[in-house]
Amino acid sequence: MKRDYYEVLGVGKEATLDEIKKAYRRLAMQFHPDQNPGNKEAEEKFKEAAEAYSILSDPAKRQHFDQFGFASQGGQGQNFQFDPNQFAGFEDLLGSFFGGGGGGIFADLFGGGGRRRSGGGERGSDLQYNMRISFKDSIFGVEDKEIEIPRQDACDTCKGSGCAAGTSAQVCPNCRGNGQVAVRQGFLQMAVTCPRCEGRGQIIPSPCPSCRGAGRVNRRTKVRFKIPAGVDQGQRLRLQGEGEAGTGGGGAGDLFILFDIENDPAYERDGFDLHRKQEVSWPLLVLGGNLPAETPYGTETVKIAKGTPADKVIKVPNAGVPRLRSQGRGDLFLHLRVAVPTRLGAQEEALVRQLLEPGVDGQPAEEGFLAKVFGSDKGKKKKKR
Ligand SMILES: [Zn+2]
Ligand SMILES: [Zn+2]
């Protein structure tokens, strides 16, 4: 018959999470397999406490248990399965209690949870490289970029094992591979990191001469990759396995390239759209016609309709930034700006003066004609001509 979880932990039904944690820690200490080698009963008690804790420390599971008891787990509770996600919780709990470096003990108990430290090695660190690139490179991408970064790489001589040729690492005899040893302090037993192997659970009897057993060496390494077309300010590119080498067979970390994009004098980016100012002569706005407009992909001819307002924004479809992870590009928006000539030849000046001469009804021609160009309200209200 299975014991009630509250009974197992020795707490009341109203116990707070903190009380539940404390009760579990006390039991975990007492029945820890490391402190009770070969004691099957202690191991059972330890598992029982761990199971009770896994349920009562989870508010949803606890509520379910309060309501339905063991029926909630199907039958008599014999089929109870540990949620593997609980391992991390256990390790963290014990880590904070035993002063870091748990893992091995639980891996032993529960048949490995992925984070086993003893003998399993550690994954290398992730690295980040800040990369400033030109606006042009952000639009078109770079097919083959090469950078050189300082990082810890696996030692070539020992291929990262840290062992001299023909030898291999051995299970630490001091902690039997657990990475931790029990130390008695008064009447308390504490698990501390094994001083012989420093928690690795392994020792290297004859270290590799190149890396002195570290398995890794510092060096400057060239890394090549592709900058995708359309990358934006602050985006990160992940290069899997290009971070630092792991130890003892643990995989390499990742390298993240963080992009910082130089401003462009002409273009402003907004998502995948681009904006730029476009100078245009007012006669072209008045009469309409073709306007050659610069885009990142070359010059495009943009049609200007007759009587286009001077502050119009013209969309050039598909002339924006390439969309990352999909097809096509954003759009380019041309914000029109009337080009006013500062120097006029005698003939040109005469022509402009003619435009300012009073019209047939005594109103300056400007009211009807130039207003179309410059968008004057006055001109819109008075429809004289
Ligand atoms: Zn080496
Ligand atoms: Zn050891």
Neighbours of ion ligand 2 (CB under 5 A): 172, 174-175, 194, 196-197
Give the separation between CA 12 and CA 22, rounded to whole angstroms: 13
Give the separation between CA 330 and CA 320, rounded to whole angstroms: 4
What is the fold of 268-381?
A: HSP40/DNAj peptide-binding domain (2.60.260)
User: Which residues are CB-contacts of 225 (< 8 A; sequence separation ≥ 6)?
Assistant: 145, 237, 239, 242, 257
Whether the pLDDT of residue 129 is over 90: the answer is yes
Q: Report strand pairing: 298-304 vs 289-295.
A: antiparallel
Q: Residue 368: pLDDT band by 50, 70, 90 thresholds?
A: low
Give the separation between CA 105 and CA 214, rounded to whole angstroms: 25
pLDDT of residue 331: 97
Whether the pLDDT of residue 335 is over 60: the answer is yes
- Distance, CA 123 to ligand 1 centroid (Å)? 17
The average pLDDT across 291-302 equals: 95
Cβ atoms 202, 215 nearer than 8 A:
no
Between 175 and 116, the more confident residue is 175
Identity at 228, one-letter amino acid code: P
| Tens-place pLDDT, residues 218-268 | 999 999 999 999 999 999 999 999 999 988 778 899 999 999 999 999 999
- Distance, CA 157 to ligand 1 centroid (Å)? 5
Cβ atoms 131, 147 nearer than 8 A:
yes
What is the fold of 5-110?
A: Helix Hairpins (1.10.287)
- Distance, CA 343 to ligand 2 centroid (Å)? 87
pLDDT of residue 323: 94
Give the separation between CA 120 and CA 100, rounded to whole angstroms: 17
Does domain 127-169+204-261 correspond to CATH entry 3.30.420.40?
no
Q: Where are the domains of the chain?
A: 5-110, 127-169+204-261, 268-381
User: Could you tell me the end-to-end alpha-carbon distance of the chain, in angstroms, rounded to an integer?
Assistant: 102
pLDDT of residue 248: 72
User: Is 163 annotated as ligand-binding?
Assistant: no
- Distance, CA 153 to ligand 2 centroid (Å)? 25
Three-class DSSP category at 81: coil
The reply to whether domains 127-169+204-261 and 268-381 share a CATH topology is yes
The average pLDDT across 303-307 equals: 95
Give the separation between CA 121 and CA 132, rounded to whole angstroms: 35
Angle at the Cα of 44 from the Cα atoms of 22 and 12, rounded to 5 degrees: 35
User: Which residues are CB-contacts of 320 (< 8 A; sequence separation ≥ 6)?
Assistant: 272, 273, 274, 329, 330, 331, 332
pLDDT of residue 378: 46
pLDDT of residue 374: 54
- Distance, CA 217 to ligand 1 centroid (Å)? 8
User: Is 158 annotated as ligand-binding?
Assistant: yes
User: Is 211 annotated as ligand-binding?
Assistant: yes
